[in-house]
Amino acid sequence: MTTFAQRAAAILPGGVNSPVRAWNGVGGEPVPIASARGAWVTDANGREYVDMVGSWGPAILGHAHPTVVQAVQEAAARGLSFGATTVREVELAEEIRARYAPAERVRLVSTGTEATMTAIRLARGATGRDVIVKFAGLYHGHSDSLLVAAGSGLATAGVPDSAGVTRGTAADTIVLPYGDENALTDAFAEHGPRIAAVITEAAPANMGTVTPPLGFNRLIATLCRNEGAVFVVDEVLTGFRAGPAGYWGIERDADLATGVDPWQPDLVTFGKVIGGGMPVAALGGRADLMEQLAPLGPVYQAGTLSGNPVAVAAGLATMRLLTDDVYAGLSRTADALATGVSDILTEAGVRHAVGRAGTLFSVFLGLAQAPVTFEQAAAQDTAAFGRLFHALHESGVHLPPSAFETWFVSHQHGHVEIEHVLDAVRAWANSETA
């Protein structure tokens, strides 16, 4: 009999529409998901799992939040797409700026890839320079110039770069080890006047979750300012999830608490949470830069479905539900899970490290210390992760099928879900060391 995975693979390359959904990193065949509600997903066989994937970030309020679903239904009934500006998309952009001040102007797009791709084009257009600096293991979507030494699905598949990216494009992208201040300073000393932009994730979360070394984001900001390059902060994953103002907000608050002037991004990208599960992403930033976008300026960018009214309804409803209380709850859940998993593994004698960035965390098996560089992250025990993944799956916990991903929590992950995950991890840890 043909399995679902075989049927899917006979029509979709690899059986998926996005490589991170395949189970290549952990082995086995994925079962299709039929529905999701709150913190739980249900597969096509009717089995339920505590969901630690959260649609790879968007499901911050849990799945099918009634207010968000209602907003989508009402918007759909008013028409699916107009190809003209709506009140709601202005409201969503205002909501973003109110929480994240460096986004002085906002352009809505449909995917994080479009947002970062546009940021790079805008930086090149504004500076008249070609070179982009990125960090190994950080993922910024699948546009050509950013698909060099990217993490996420490429890390899982063990491929450094994508085929089909021309040598010329790759040659304009300088890749540095993350967190390495000397490498960054040297790159500016050597190539400074040619550097259009440095792009970084506000906190890396596509090689597992990594805490940015203290002062690293600030150093990038300073070097960019001194050299006239554009500092692009990618908050597609961290934005409005790591904390109320993304990971930038966490560093800003720490700076303000110690009387230091916070560093500022020139451009910032969002996605995931701001669409609440629908295709919405955004580029924001300094007004003078953003106003170089068409139709005001010479840098072209467009989209038939940009600011789509149904998608924007989901995003706006989600953003409006994200109160300080929600973030406090997410923090408590992330603490309980990260600490709980770590304590269980320690007690069972399973070597591991936990990476944290606000409400984001991931578990690196086989490492004694949380990694900073991709090289360090890649040294984790991915085979052990595969065993953990399958044991948890059997116990009704749906982890991201890769050792290089964040474990996503939602506002609906409560005591029951936390205990369910911890019990499953305990059973696995004991079987590993038995």
* Minimum separation from the CB atom of position 317 to ligand PLP (A): 19
- The rounded Cα 218 to chain-centroid distance in angstroms is 21
Give the whole-angstrom CA distance, residue 213 versus residue 195.
23
- Contacting ligand PLP (CB under 6 A), which of 113, 308, 333, 412? 113
Residue nearest to ligand PLP (CB): 112
Which one, of 406, 367, 364, 356, lies nearest residue 385 by Cα?
Answer: 364
Q: What is the residue whose two structure tokens read 């993490």?
A: 151
Give the whole-angstrom CA distance, residue 22 versus residue 9.
10
Active-site choice (49, 134, 172, 234): 234
* Minimum separation from the CB atom of position 428 to ligand PLP (A): 27
Residue 20 vs 313, nearer CB to ligand PLP:
20
Residue 112 vs 208, nearer CB to ligand PLP:
112
- Strand arrangement of the beta sheet that strand 33-37 belongs to: 33-37, 40-43, 48-51, 397-398
Give the whole-angstrom CA distance, residue 67 versus residue 434.
47
Residue 283 vs 345, nearer CB to ligand PLP:
283
> Known catalytic residue: 134?
no
Judged by CB under 6 A, the stretch of 108-116, 258-266, 327-335, 372-380 that binds ligand PLP is: 108-116
271 binding ligand PLP? (CB under 6 A): yes
145 binding ligand PLP? (CB under 6 A): no
Residues 6+ apart with CB under 8 A from 224: 195, 197, 198, 230, 231, 266
Judged by CB under 6 A, the stretch of 109-117, 172-180, 326-334, 345-353 that binds ligand PLP is: 109-117
- Contacting ligand PLP (CB under 6 A), which of 25, 62, 102, 112? 112
> Known catalytic residue: 324?
no
> Known catalytic residue: 253?
no
- Side-chain-side CA neighbours of residue 409 (13 Å): 29
Judged by CB under 6 A, the stretch of 45-53, 110-118, 159-167, 417-425 that binds ligand PLP is: 110-118
Residue 201 vs 417, nearer CB to ligand PLP:
201
143 binding ligand PLP? (CB under 6 A): no
Give the whole-angstrom CA distance, residue 73 versus residue 221.
42
Give the whole-angstrom CA distance, residue 332 versus residue 244.
14
DSSP state of 38: B
Judged by CB under 6 A, the stretch of 82-90, 136-144, 245-253, 425-433 that binds ligand PLP is: 136-144
SS in 3 state form for 373-410?
CHHHHHCCCHHHHHHHHHHHHHCCEECCCCCCCCECCC
Active-site choice (100, 139, 178, 327): 139
- Contacting ligand PLP (CB under 6 A), which of 51, 172, 201, 266? 201
Residues touching ligand PLP: how many (CB under 6 A)?
15
Instruction: Report which secondary-structure segment, H or E, holds 9.
Output: helix 4-9
Amino acid, res. 249: G
Q: Are 285 and 97 in contact (CB under 8 A)?
A: no
- Contacting ligand PLP (CB under 6 A), which of 206, 306, 373, 380? 206
404 binding ligand PLP? (CB under 6 A): no
Q: What is the DSSP string of 271-310?
A: -GGGGBTBS-EEEEE-HHHHTTBTTTSSB----TTTT-HH
Give the pairing of strands 397-398 and 281-285: unpaired
Active-site choice (49, 51, 172, 272): 272
Give the whole-angstrom CA distance, residue 340 versus residue 326.
21
Residues 6+ apart with CB under 8 A from 103: 96, 97, 268, 270, 282, 284, 285
140 binding ligand PLP? (CB under 6 A): yes
* Burial profile 337-354: b = 16 or more Cβ within 10 angstroms, e = fewer: bbebbbebbeebebebbb
Give the per-residue contact string, 237-256, with ligand PLP (x = CB under 6 A; - = no).
Answer: x-------------------
- Contacting ligand PLP (CB under 6 A), which of 55, 86, 111, 145? 111
51 binding ligand PLP? (CB under 6 A): no
141 binding ligand PLP? (CB under 6 A): yes
Residue 176 vs 429, nearer CB to ligand PLP:
176
Residue 107 vs 352, nearer CB to ligand PLP:
107
* Minimum separation from the CB atom of position 139 to ligand PLP (A): 5
Active site residues: 139, 234, 272
Binding stretches for ligand PLP (CB under 6 A): 56, 111-113, 116, 139-141, 201, 206, 234, 236-237, 271, 281
